[in-house]
């Protein structure tokens, strides 16, 4: 139920592993442009036998020289004089179509991962990833030359397979070498090495791309830790399996009386340090992989904060944009009907995340209160002192994450004998975190110049000020486009379908979503002068982007450490002594600064303990993960195998 349907029947999970492994070992054979071949239009989805045929049966053989010679002979045979062709008309033939196509330069990429082999006496084009041919593996599903749109749609249909995408990613890791030096899956599950941890996660959850990426980054940071103590391999294997995963349907009715159904998630990842804390995300892209990745990152973030608590994450693929208040309310009530049993101050307290604001959390809490039958939980050490504690906390809760990012960056700059004054800062996103980052950057004398949304980005070279930020908040509250900002401030410019990473900058704050910075974006950032990247969103960079930034000596402040301000604020609110005090903004910021300083020092100490130099672009990332992991590992060891 948890895995997305791909339309491809697999015999077992091991087939998935073998498929990618075989694709890596396969030497691709690409013919030169302009050469004619016979393309067999073989069995496809319209052939009942195709669906029942496993992709991985006996190990497929490599195309040999003889095979290619034979395929060339087939090409020559297709060009015989008409007399010879007439003689063959009397022979019985199978129901199939055969067409001759000339390779075109504009379609060369279509065959980038294809090879020609002879099967049953006919030269056919095979996919080098899954070693099959047919409807999803030919460039033209209509059996004739067709239009470019038709042919590319067939290619996209095939490439939408998650396994196909993963295999392509592995093969494209080296542009010069098509064949990888060694497959990823080379060791058994029982191997006590850092590599075996990633292999075990891949074997168990091969389709969860975001979660696997997060696991790979964490394991890479922990290599020196695991090398010193193999006991941590067992701890890591347990840590990577969440304590509880909830996947449920959320039926709701719109204002027209039509029913809809969405999927809900809550992953309570680890409670070794205490009750879970983590956000709810409502976004169409939400799935179990993202919920697990967010829960894993939140677990590490909470462990690194001064207040040791467990981690969780969840949400739904429901999109609140464009929905009325009543529609959002009905959805939130249906969502809470399923999950309320697992929430509470001593179990799991959710907070705001992407797509979830005060409106959504208010509806969620109202239904929780109704179902739970109480407003307070007096028997627990940290009790509800008001409904806002449950959903968004004090008026400073939303500021805490954005302010904390800037406080953390200021500590990093101070170690470099610099400060924010006069630095050009590029910020992505335009939600609560991004706008509060802008506020604090202005307070420190920096020049923030960009914000972005899902359609493009806005740049104001003069820099934002408090009045402009207030106008941005008004635009977002009315769910208008950032393009409207340019109508008021003529010197600004809005770029459609673009990212802000090409703007000249000194410090970057990605605050939108995961993997928003890819390889090309990283190159643009380096060329734009970026020297420091502070992660406001969880895992904002792809692995390729991280490699480029590190090679360029761009210092990365990880979200695990820099984004812990919200965790600190939440625990302030739940602490009985803190709740008995009316915090002023100055007092709260002072406490937040002190907490971020502790986190920064703890991160540097862990990095130094395992040989990472302070000036290294990896030091903060590795130090944060090492410190958080060691804290969790100690608690898990003390509590035994639970």
pLDDT recorded at residue 641 = 87
Distance from C-alpha of 107 to C-alpha of 129, rounded to nearest angstrom: 18
Sequence-separated (6 or more) residues with CB below 8 Å from residue 559: 297, 301, 535, 536, 537, 538, 539, 540
Smallest CA-to-CA distance from 123 within 100, 89, 152, 93 is with 100
How many CB atoms neighbour CB 148 within 10 A? 12
Please say whether the beta carbons of 526 and 502 come within 8 A.
Answer: no
Sequence-separated (6 or more) residues with CB below 8 Å from residue 95: none
CATH of domain 192-372: 3.40.50.10860
Distance from C-alpha of 27 to C-alpha of 18, rounded to nearest angstrom: 16
Please say whether the beta carbons of 226 and 194 come within 8 A.
Answer: yes
Chain centre to alpha carbon of residue 1? 21
- Whether residue 208 has pLDDT greater than 90: yes
- Whether residue 62 has pLDDT greater than 70: no
Smallest CA-to-CA distance from 449 within 437, 459, 435 is with 459
Tens digits of residue pLDDT in 291-344? 999 999 999 999 998 877 899 999 999 999 989 999 999 999 999 999 999 998
Distance from C-alpha of 468 to C-alpha of 214, rounded to nearest angstrom: 36
Distance from C-alpha of 559 to C-alpha of 539, rounded to nearest angstrom: 7
- Whether residue 218 has pLDDT greater than 80: yes
What mean pLDDT comes out for the span 387-415?
Answer: 74
Q: What is the DSSP letter of 615?
A: T
Confidence of residue 125 (pLDDT cuts 50, 70, 90): low
439 vs 133, higher pLDDT: 439
What mean pLDDT comes out for the span 29-54?
Answer: 38
pLDDT recorded at residue 637 = 93
For CATH 3.40.50.10860, the residue range(s) in the chain are 192-372
Q: Contacts from 260-263 at CB under 8 Å and sequence distance 24+?
A: 262/316, 262/317, 262/318, 262/331, 263/287, 263/316, 263/317
pLDDT recorded at residue 126 = 62
Smallest CA-to-CA distance from 138 within 123, 125, 150 is with 125
Tokens of 613: 């130099």
CATH of domain 399-625: 3.40.50.720
Average pLDDT score over the chain:
75
Sign of CA dihedral 517, 520, 522, 524: negative
- Whether residue 59 has pLDDT greater than 80: no
Confidence of residue 117 (pLDDT cuts 50, 70, 90): low
For CATH 3.40.50.720, the residue range(s) in the chain are 399-625
Sign of CA dihedral 350, 351, 357, 358: positive
């Amino acid at each position: 139920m948890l895995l997305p349907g791909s339309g491809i029947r697999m015999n077992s999970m091991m087939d998935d592993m073998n498929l990618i492994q075989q694709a890596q070992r396969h030497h691709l054979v690409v013919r030169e442009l302009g050469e004619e071949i016979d393309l067999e239009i073989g069995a496809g989805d319209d052939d009942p036998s195709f669906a029942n045929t496993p992709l991985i049966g006996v190990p497929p053989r490599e195309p040999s020289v003889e095979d290619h010679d034979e395929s060339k002979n087939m090409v020559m045979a297709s060009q015989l004089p008409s007399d010879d062709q007439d003689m063959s008309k009397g022979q019985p033939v199978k129901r199939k179509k055969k067409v001759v196509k000339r390779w075109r330069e504009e379609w060369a990429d279509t065959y980038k991962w294809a090879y020609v082999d002879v099967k049953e006496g006919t030269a056919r084009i095979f996919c080098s990833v899954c070693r099959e041919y047919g409807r999803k593996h030919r460039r033209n599903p209509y059996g004739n030359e067709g239009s470019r749109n038709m042919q590319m749609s067939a290619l996209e249909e095939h490439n939408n397979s998650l396994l196909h995408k993963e295999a392509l990613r592995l093969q494209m890791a080296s542009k010069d070498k098509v064949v990888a030096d060694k497959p990823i899956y080379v060791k058994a599950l029982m191997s006590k090495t850092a590599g075996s941890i990633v292999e075990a996660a891949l074997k168990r959850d091969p389709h969860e791309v975001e979660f696997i990426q997060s696991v790979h980054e964490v394991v890479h940071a922990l290599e020196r830790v695991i090398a010193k103590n193999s006991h941590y391999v067992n701890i890591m294997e347990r840590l990577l399996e969440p304590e509880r995963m909830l996947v449920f349907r959320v039926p709701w009715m719109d204002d027209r009386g039509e029913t809809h159904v969405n999927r809900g998630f809550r992953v309570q990842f680890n409670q070794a340090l205490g009750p879970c804390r983590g956000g709810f995300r409502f976004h169409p892209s939400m799935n179990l992989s993202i919920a697990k990745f967010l829960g894993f990152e939140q677990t590490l973030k909470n462990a690194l904060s001064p207040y040791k608590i467990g981690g969780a994450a969840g949400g739904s693929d429901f999109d609140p944009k464009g929905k009325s208040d009543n529609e959002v309310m009905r959805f939130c009530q249906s969502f809470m009907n399923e999950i309320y049993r697992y929430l509470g101050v001593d179990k799991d307290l959710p907070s705001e995340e992407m797509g979830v604001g005060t409106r959504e959390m208010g509806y969620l809490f109202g239904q929780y209160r109704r179902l739970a039958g109480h407003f307070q939980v007096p028997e627990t050490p940290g009790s509800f002192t008001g409904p806002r504690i449950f959903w968004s906390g004090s008026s400073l809760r939303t500021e805490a994450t954005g302010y904390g990012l800037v406080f953390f960056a200021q500590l990093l700059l101070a170690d470099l004998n610099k400060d924010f004054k006069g630095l050009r800062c590029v910020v992505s996103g335009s939600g609560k975190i991004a706008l509060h980052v802008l506020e604090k950057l202005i307070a420190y004398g920096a020049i923030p110049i960009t914000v972005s949304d899902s359609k493009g980005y806005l740049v104001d070279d003069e820099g934002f000020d408090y009045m402009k930020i207030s106008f941005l908040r008004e635009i977002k509250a009315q769910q208008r486009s950032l393009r409207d900002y340019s109508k008021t401030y003529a010197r600004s410019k809005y770029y459609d379908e673009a990212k802000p990473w090409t703007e000249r900058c000194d410090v970057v704050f990605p605050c939108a979503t995961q993997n928003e910075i890819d390889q090309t974006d990283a190159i643009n950032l380096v060329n734009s002068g970026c020297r420091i990247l502070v992660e406001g969103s969880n895992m904002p960079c792809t692995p390729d982007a991280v490699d480029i930034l590190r090679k360029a000596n761009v210092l990365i402040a990880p979200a695990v450490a820099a984004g812990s301000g919200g965790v600190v604020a939440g625990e302030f609110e739940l602490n009985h002594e803190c709740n008995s005090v009316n915090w002023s903004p100055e007092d709260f910021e002072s406490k937040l600064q002190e907490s971020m300083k502790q986190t920064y020092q703890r991160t540097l100490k862990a990095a130094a303990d395992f040989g990472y130099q302070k000036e290294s672009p990896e030091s903060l990332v590795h130090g944060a993960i090492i410190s958080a992991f060691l804290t969790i590992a100690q608690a898990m060891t003390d509590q035994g195998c639970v």
